[in-house]
């Protein structure tokens, strides 16, 4: 009997599916998507969006179908159509340019990212040099660094960077972080910085957002006892990629990122009795539901929802869309 026949004969074997709580959309993502949807309803199509509103291919394609046009830079947008800035935030120069062109713009920056911007500006006003812990080139990092003069902020990505960072001059130091980082990785970087620069103050509030923290804690629980963890999310989603890393570090035998159910390689399930399922903060719930149905189609699946943090956070929409 060949491998395909063996799998077919065994395809209805029992399997336990553990579903993470919380998972999927966070309040910032939900708000950003609503801003694009409401803008199209109020102003008609097209509505321009600078960068992907959130990092999920399915969300972007659905909004394109409604009339959103995604561009890389503001100069690709006409003056007479609304433009939305993505949830990741933008450098100060972007809204300044929009104002100079008298454009109608809507800022979908997550309020928790905006909080980091405010914190960085507060440190700068106090004369501190700011260390930003994050990933180079990520839109959120570009946006945060763009709040300040280039010489006022230094990016640190790794423990190695923290070991070799040289204080510019004699300025006191402060730090902020990208909101979607691995909590554990960030703690390792901070441990090095605190050892080298004991005077570093703690952040006013934790920069890694509640949704990132909650989803990472949930995936740690999944990893304990799961042979395989599937994370629904797009490859360019920082928080989704981190969930895979966290699952592996927490003890999962295997962990994979899948854009949707069609990206599952069913050979991953050889010997798997328990699979954990979660989703990044930019992945819509229907993708998770479709993955569960795909599992049920191939296995005698028992779905158990893990107990976790129940999120009730909601963010207000801009006045231009509610007045």
Give the residue extent of every domain in the chain. Answer: 3-25+210-305, 27-109, 111-196
Q: Is the pLDDT of residue 3 over 90?
A: no
Cα gap 254→135, rounded to integer Å: 24
* Third-level CATH fold of 3-25+210-305: Cobalt-precorrin-4 Transmethylase; domain 1 (3.40.1010)
Residue 46 is encoded by which pair of tokens?
Answer: 């097209």
Residue 277 is encoded by which pair of tokens?
Answer: 């399922």
- Contact in structure between 142 and 116 (CB atoms under 8 Å): no
Count CB atoms within 10 A of the CB of residue 99. 10
Predicted local distance difference test score (pLDDT) of residue 9: 43
Q: How confident is the model at residue 203 (pLDDT cuts 50, 70, 90)?
A: low
Section 56-67 average pLDDT: 98
Same fold, 3-25+210-305 and 111-196: yes
Predicted local distance difference test score (pLDDT) of residue 101: 97
Q: Is the pLDDT of residue 202 over 90?
A: no
Query: In CATH terms, is domain 111-196 a member of 3.40.50.2300?
Result: no
Section 117-146 average pLDDT: 96
Long-range contacts for 88-91 (Cβ within 8 Å, ≥24 apart)? 88/51, 88/113, 88/138, 88/139, 88/140, 88/143, 89/113, 89/114, 89/117, 89/139, 89/140, 89/143, 89/144, 90/50, 90/143, 90/146, 91/142, 91/143, 91/145, 91/146, 91/147
Q: Is the pLDDT of residue 1 over 60?
A: no
Listed residue (259, 257, 235) closest to 246, CA to CA: 257
In terms of pLDDT, which residue wins out, 173 or 8? 173
Catalytic residue among 52, 76, 140, 309: 140
Q: How confident is the model at residue 94 (pLDDT cuts 50, 70, 90)?
A: very high
Is residue 217 annotated as part of the catalytic site, yes or no? Answer: no
Give the residue carrying structure tokens 């080298």.
Answer: 196
Percent of the chain residues past pLDDT 70, beyond the cut: 95
* Third-level CATH fold of 27-109: Rossmann fold (3.40.50)
- Contact in structure between 108 and 32 (CB atoms under 8 Å): yes
Report how far apart, in Å, the C-alpha atoms of 23 and of each of 59, 150, 215 are: 16, 36, 6
Q: What is the DSSP letter of 266?
A: G
**Model-level pTM greater than 0.85?**
yes
Predicted local distance difference test score (pLDDT) of residue 207: 81
Predicted local distance difference test score (pLDDT) of residue 46: 98
Q: How confident is the model at residue 149 (pLDDT cuts 50, 70, 90)?
A: very high
Predicted local distance difference test score (pLDDT) of residue 246: 96
């Amino acid at each position: 009997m060949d491998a395909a026949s063996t799998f077919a004969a065994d395809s209805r074997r029992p399997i336990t599916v553990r579903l993470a709580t919380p998972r999927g959309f966070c309040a910032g993502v939900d708000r950003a998507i609503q801003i694009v949807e409401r803008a199209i309803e109020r102003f008609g199509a097209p509505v321009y969006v600078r960068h992907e509103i959130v990092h999920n291919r399915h969300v972007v394609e659905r909004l394109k179908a409604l009339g959103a046009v995604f561009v890389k830079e503001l100069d690709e947008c006409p003056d007479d159509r609304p433009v939305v800035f993505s949830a990741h935030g933008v450098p100060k120069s972007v809204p300044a340019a929009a104002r100079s062109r008298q454009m109608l713009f809507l800022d979908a920056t997550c309020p928790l990212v905006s909080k980091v911007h405010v914190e960085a500006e507060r440190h700068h006003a106090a004369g501190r040099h700011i260390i930003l812990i994050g990933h180079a080139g990520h839109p959120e990092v570009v946006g945060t660094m763009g709040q300040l003069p280039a010489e006022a902020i230094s990016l640190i990505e790794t423990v190695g960077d923290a070991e070799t960072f040289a204080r510019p001059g004699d300025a006191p130091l402060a730090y902020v972080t990208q909101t979607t980082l691995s909590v554990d990785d960030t703690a390792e970087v901070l441990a090095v910085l605190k050892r080298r620069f004991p005077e570093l103050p703690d952040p006013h509030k934790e920069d890694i957002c509640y949704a990132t923290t909650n989803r990472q804690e949930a995936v740690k629980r999944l990893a304990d006892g799961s042979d395989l963890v599937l994370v629904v999310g797009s490859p360019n989603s920082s928080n989704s990629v981190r969930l895979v890393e966290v699952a592996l570090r927490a003890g999962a035998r295997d962990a994979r990122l899948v854009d949707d159910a069609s990206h599952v390689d069913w050979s991953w399930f050889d010997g798997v009795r328990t699979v954990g399922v979660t989703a990044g903060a930019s992945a819509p719930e229907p993708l998770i539901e479709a993955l569960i149905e795909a599992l049920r189609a191939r296995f005698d699946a028992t779905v158990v929802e893990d107990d976790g943090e129940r999120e009730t956070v909601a963010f207000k929409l801009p006045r231009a869309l509610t007045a």
